[in-house]
Copies of this chain bind each other. A is one copy, B any other.
Amino acid sequence: MGEGRASDEPLELALYARDAGVAVGRADAVCFPGSGAEIAAAVRVARRHGRPFVARGSGTGLAGGSTPLGDPVVIVTTQMNRVLEVDAEACVAWVEPGVLNLDLSREVAPLGLHYAPDPSSQQACTIGGNVGTNAGGPHCLSEGVTSAHILAVDVVLPDGTEARLGSLAPDAPGYDLRGCFVGSEGTMGIATRIAVRLTPDPPCVATMLCAFDSVEAAAATVSGVIAAGVLPAALEMMDARITEAVEDFVGAGYPRDAQAVLLAEVDGLAGGVAAQVDAISSVARANGATLVRVAADDAERALLWKGRKSAFGAIARIAPDYYLHDAVVPRTKLVDVLRRVYEIADAHQLIVMNVFHAGDGNLHPLLVFDRREPGIWERVYAAGTEILDACIDAGGVLTGEHGVGIEKRDLMARMFSVDDLDAQARLRDAFDPDGAANPQKVLPRGSRCGELQRVPEGTWI
């Protein structure tokens, strides 16, 4: 690896000891490979010296997925930020893992193409990190999450060998290892090159804002729109508190007196867009919408989206800290679960705000607080755990797009039986019998049948 590409300076190690979540770990060394060959070399050197390794992009993850545990070598992909190849006709690009999500869309924009998954962190997060967490975003409602946009991945497996998973043509035969790698949070190795599917820009787009007197009316509109045969490109909900915070922050033109607002986007041929706007308007009005507005031009569209995407910045004006949760519930249970979320926050004397991918049932309850308040962390953790329990009890899952990481590892047993987790552990053991790739993440200790008996206390895989 070239000069200056590896370091064990204490300041550098401290910088890479955590991601944007709360868990803090400890890196043994950090390196910045410039090529796939250097990633492979980093993995092999780490393994030769008995060290595990962790892949890391921009560190925007909220679940501790790239937090170094078990004294690993942190392999940072941010230097590998080139779009290597674009085939506009086939709508495919090969990219390095450190390319930023929004940079990719910007680069292919002149071709009339974009990369569809658009997490709120898209200005900062990397495609490699998106692959690791199987990231979502507002426009994943109609387009599908990251896995639907990754055709193939060239990877360095945990033992340092290399392989291509998937294929440029759809539906490659054999096991869908590509699909397993996407969302594996760095536990199956590191991507060195990623073939992404590019999506043609739609000929016509309309963005709508609907306001309601109750969260229930907004949620009923979400169900009603889907039932009417409309699958919007995006369908986002914000509650009163977050709407007000956003209005104070960026002045997006959201109504301050609404209990809930929906942001809906539809796209396609002009005639189809008009039909969808009419259908959504009808459903919203039937559910008592107090406002239905279609953005008049691109500037107004951009402002409506700026409000939504600034939500997490906006809350800094209310309290210095926040804990953002991520869970999915069946769309039909949205109202019940939201009510329960407010109750839980009240019981712990916490402020909760909700801004989320309503069409997908992907909730993002956001607890705001001041960490200097004594005993506050205990209340925040307790409320968070109860919120996730409520989501799982409603038939949901404990993460939609942020990943399990270290944050939710020990909650996996709430969702999966011992047998289910054992099946997952078999795959992990098949690719990483020594637990060298991102150790202590995703699967709880005890995932393997009989493991608690077999593995000496204090050993993690």
Contact = CB atoms under 8 A, between A and B. Distances in A.
Interface of A: 89-90, 134, 136, 145, 147, 157, 161-165, 167-177, 179-180, 182-184, 188, 200, 202-203, 226-230, 268-272, 274-276, 278-279, 328-332, 360-361, 395-401, 403-404, 408, 412, 415-417, 419-420, 422-424, 426-431, 442-443
Given A147-B179, A176-B179, 11 more contacts: A165-B420, A170-B360, A173-B399, A175-B184, A175-B427, A180-B180, A180-B427, A229-B269, A268-B272, A269-B272, A272-B275
Contacts of A162: 419
B145 A175 contact: no
A173 B408 contact: yes
A274 B417 CA distance: 49
A112 B408 CA distance: 38
A328 B397 contact: no
Given A203-B228, A330-B90, A420-B165, A171 B401 contact: yes
Contacts of A279: 269
A170 B428 CA distance: 22
Contact of A423 (B157, B269, B398, B442): B157
Name the residue in A161, A175, A202, A404 with the highest tally of chain B Cβ atoms < 10 Å from its Cβ: A175
Contacts of A403: 173
A170 B417 CA distance: 18
A281 to B, nearest CB: 12
Contacts of A179: 147, 176, 179-180
Nearest to A223: B89
A454 to B, nearest CB: 17
Contact of A169 (B183, B361, B422): B361
B167 A176 contact: no
A176 B171 contact: no
A429 B332 CA distance: 40
A176 B169 contact: no
A271 B274 contact: yes
Contacts of A330: 90, 168-169
Nearest to A202: B229
B177 A427 contact: yes
B419 A163 contact: yes
A213 B230 CA distance: 37
A397 B172 contact: yes
A168 B170 CA distance: 25
B175 A428 contact: yes
Contacts of A184: 175
20 contacts: A90-B330, A134-B171, A163-B420, A163-B422, A169-B329, A170-B397, A173-B415, A174-B183, A174-B412, A174-B443, A176-B179, A176-B180, A177-B423, A230-B269, A269-B276, A272-B272, A275-B275, A426-B430, A426-B431, A427-B427
